[in-house]
Amino acid sequence: MDHFEYRDGVLHAENVPLDRIADEVGTPFYCYSTATIERHIGVFMDGLAPLDATVCYSVKANSNLSVLKILAANGAGADVVSGGELTRALRAGMPPGKIVFSGVGKTEPEIRQAIRADILQINVESEPELEAVNRVAGELGKTARAAVRLNPDIDAGSHDKISTGRREDKFGVEWTRAHEVFTAGAALPHVELVGLAMHIGSQLADLQPYRDAFTRLRDVTAMLQAGGFEIRTLDLGGGLGTPYDDTPMPSPAEYGAMVREVIGDLGCRFLFEPGRVIAGNAGVLVSRVVYVKEGATRRFLILDAAMNDLIRPALYDASHTIVPIAESADKEREPADIVGPVCETGDTFGERIPMPDMNPGDLVAFRTAGAYSAVMASTYNSRALVPEILVNGDQFAVVRERIEVDDYLARESIAPWLNG
Ligand code: LLP
């Protein structure tokens, strides 16, 4: 459930009509709903009760400082994958004791930053990385808490590019090698291995791959415990799917029940790293129709938003539901290809989408654009970076300004020998 709905024929974010924001801020823009974010984090946490669970929101999904601040105020910590995300999480007030650091390629400066900040744990994904953590911690005169991310060799059944738990994927340590890595870790003086981690993919529409992966995690945990290793934390990653259309998704309550059933009795602290399920349906991308073009075989709605603003359709064949901001009284729908202005055929948001009659200047909203949307924007075609707006009840604020071409041109220079 989200807080974007039509009132008096206009799509609103909570109590604010989106056309009003468009008039004041210009298009395109991302708009997030506070009430929706709060609802989603609440429902997710409720679904896990009564497990000893800490939710480390996956910052990569939507790293806007205001979004992080709302989540921190609602009890969430953070899953970060770069020094930049760690900086954001800390700046938003997320407690270091609820921050985990994931990712296959943490650099020494990033590891140093994490150890200095005294975060909950670093999830290591290889032995060289474990050794790097030990080395950096030693230089700082500290002991770093680390967990070992296992690759369970389970296919999440999601899009190929966002499935991460298969043997051939770059993530984690092969699950059969857990004992070996823990033994090696025990010999390192500046690392304390505190647990295990897993993340098998994103946008999972089915609980079965989780069930299989967590069963494997359960077996490895029991084996390590029997070998005398203490396993304090089990980080189960993120990945729970979000409805982009009418396809049903497992609810957080069903997910939580499955976790409790499969692995809940191990006496560990559980960490969760949801991203999309928290932020996805809490945001929309609002764009204006620039032209309506009758092509040889198709009608094109050409928008002022493009693939650089929302890359998901081009990259993952994702389809975001696109709706007019002004509710159409006319029930008639004609198929249209909805495209952006970028010079690639890949800059297509949807083909043959049933749309009401639309005219230049009309506004549309892309639903489910709160996750992996603004964060993946680029300046391709020297376009601006889209601003982000946060709504809360009757109020709205620009929480990330539009970054114009002049803003980033200020960082570009002409090589001295070219200046005649
Ligand atoms: N934990 C780890 C270690 C991850 O790699 C990810 C996502 C998450 C948690 C959060 O997963 P979520 O709950 O959001 O599914 N850009 C892609 C999605 C990439 C996901 C990467 N990792 C997209 O737009 O679909």
Whether the pLDDT of residue 146 is over 90: the answer is: yes
Would you call the peptide bond into 209 cis, given omega within 30 degrees of 0 as the criterion? no
Instruction: Count the Cβ atoms, other than its own, within 10 Å of residue 359.
Output: 9
User: Domains along the chain?
Assistant: 4-32+280-409 (2.40.37.10), 103-272 (3.20.20.10)
How far, in Å, from the CA of 224 to the mean position of ligand 1?
A: 28
Residues above pLDDT 70, as percent of the chain? 100
61 Cβ inside 6 Å of ligand 1:
yes
How far, in Å, from the CA of 61 to the mean position of ligand 1?
A: 7
237 Cβ inside 6 Å of ligand 1:
yes
For 209-215, the CB contacts below 8 A with 24+ separation are 209/154, 209/155, 209/156, 209/157, 209/165, 210/236, 210/239, 210/255, 210/258, 210/259, 211/258, 211/262, 212/152, 212/154, 213/152, 213/154, 213/165, 214/258, 214/259, 214/262, 214/263, 215/262, 215/263
Q: From the DSSP assignment, how many helices (H) and strands (E) are in the chain?
A: 12, 21
Among 381, 303, 364, 296, CA closest to 338 = 303
Among 178, 69, 53, 160, CA closest to 400 = 69
How far, in Å, from the CA of 238 to the mean position of ligand 1?
A: 7
CA 231 to chain CA mean position, Å: 27
What is the pLDDT averaged over residues 23-35? 98
- What confidence score (pLDDT) does residue 329 get? 84
pTM of full prediction above 0.85: yes
290 Cβ inside 6 Å of ligand 1:
no
How far, in Å, from the CA of 218 to the mean position of ligand 1?
A: 23
List the catalytic residue out of 31, 56, 268, 343. Answer: 343
Q: Tens of pLDDT along 104-141?
A: 999 999 999 999 999 999 999 999 999 999 999 999 99
Dig out the tokens for 410 from the structure: 């200020």
How far, in Å, from the CA of 102 to the mean position of ligand 1?
A: 11
Please report the atom of ligand 1 found closest to the CA of residue 373: 24
10 Cβ inside 6 Å of ligand 1:
no
Q: Tens of pLDDT along 244-256?
A: 998 899 999 999 9
Q: Tens of pLDDT along 355-408?
A: 999 999 999 999 999 999 999 999 999 999 999 999 999 999 999 999 999 999
Residue type, 353: I
- What confidence score (pLDDT) does residue 157 get? 87
Active site residue 343: yes
Distance of alpha carbon 275 from alpha carbon 145, whole angstroms:
23
121 Cβ inside 6 Å of ligand 1:
no
What sign has the CA pseudo-torsion 104, 108, 113, 116? positive
Helix ranges (DSSP H) in 228-346? 252-263, 276-279, 312-316
The residue whose C-alpha atom lies closest to atom 23 belonging to ligand 1 is 372
Please report the atom of ligand 1 found closest to the CA of residue 275: 14
